Amino acid sequence: MKKWILIFPVLFLMFFHAATTHAISNQPIHWGFKKGANEKQADAGEKYDNLLEKYGAFYKGSADQKILYLTFDNGYENGYTAKILDVLKKEKVPAAFFVTGHYLDSAPDLAKRMVDEGHIVGNHSWSHPDMTQISDEKIRIELDKVKEETKRITGQSDMQYLRPPRGILSERTLKVARDSGYIHVLWSLAFKDWQVNQQKGWKYAYDNIMAQVHPGAVMLLHTVSKDNADALEKVIQDLKKRGYVFKSLDDYMLKEKVKNPIIAH
């Protein structure tokens, strides 16, 4: 009898943990919604807004200020990142680069340059999996490997921003990431720029960016795109002329997320 008295609380806690874990949805969300236009913000809808807020994630800033947050996804190097970094340095614009394990292995010099020039290196996972299809432990391994290798290569000791690979997430992956100290950074401006064999010239990139831009935009571009590299300087200069300023994700956190700080476990 005494044995069961001792075991019962343990069984209860195990059951409670399993029930709560099971209750968290792993339904995949493929991030995408109607694009912004005429300098009006895109809107993902109340359902997604509430879900992201619950886990400290975000995809846009305040609609009241003409602030832009420039981010790049770096799955692999295609020869254009150095040019992009040159433009950012010339125009004094901060950016965040979300890197994979492949990128760190193949272009460590560029990853180091990003950090040396004041940019943020974020986590895009080690092997770019659909994280809704792998275990919690595997997600943590994917993220830890990128963080550790980035620190070794660049000296960047902290890594708190995550861009979900393939743009796929779920409530479960949001929770695992948050519990590991990460903030999901999605986007409110993007276009089909990653297909390297379907580049259409710098003006295609320029026109897509300028048509969608809005106050508080989190801009997603891919560094594999020649169009993006060729258009970036004019994009930045013309947006500045429109009264926009570029800020880092750290600035976003200071201005808009201090009321809902991320807590690492």
Q: Is residue 17 in some structural domain?
A: no
- Beta-strand ranges (E) seen in the chain are 29-30, 67-74, 96-99, 120-123, 161-162, 168-169, 183-184, 218-222, 245-246
- Please list the rounded mean pLDDT of every run of 10 residues in the chain (265 residues): 46 42 85 84 90 97 96 98 98 98 98 98 98 98 98 97 98 98 97 95 98 97 98 98 98 76 43
Domain membership flag for residue 265: no
Q: Has residue 12 been placed in a domain?
A: no
Domain extent for 239: 29-256
How many domains are contained in the chain?
Answer: 1
Residue 113 lies in a domain: yes
End-to-end CA distance of the chain: 37
Catalytic residues, by residue number, are: 73, 222
What pLDDT, on a 0 to 100 scale, did the predictor assign at position 10? 41
The pLDDT value given to residue 2:
47
Given this model, what pLDDT does residue 64 score? Answer: 93
Domain assignment present for residue 261? The answer is no
Cα separation, 87 vs 83, whole angstroms: 6
Of 155, 200, 212, 147, nearest to 177 by C-alpha is: 147
Cα separation, 232 vs 213, in Å, equals: 14
Predicted pLDDT at 35: 82
State CA 152 to chain mean position distance. Answer: 21
Domain-located, residue 193? yes
Q: Cα-Cα-Cα-Cα dihedral of 186, 130, 264, 114, to 10°?
A: -60
Residue at 223 is within a domain: yes
pLDDT for the residue numbered 257: 66
Q: Count other Cβ atoms within 10 Å, centred on residue 38.
A: 8
69 by DSSP, 3-state: which?
A: strand
Distance of CA 60 to the CA centre of its chain: 11
pTM of the model: 0.89
10 assigned to some structural domain: no
Residue partners of 47: CB distance under 8 A and separation at least 6: none
CATH number of the structural domain spanning residue 235: 3.20.20.370
pLDDT score of 70: 98
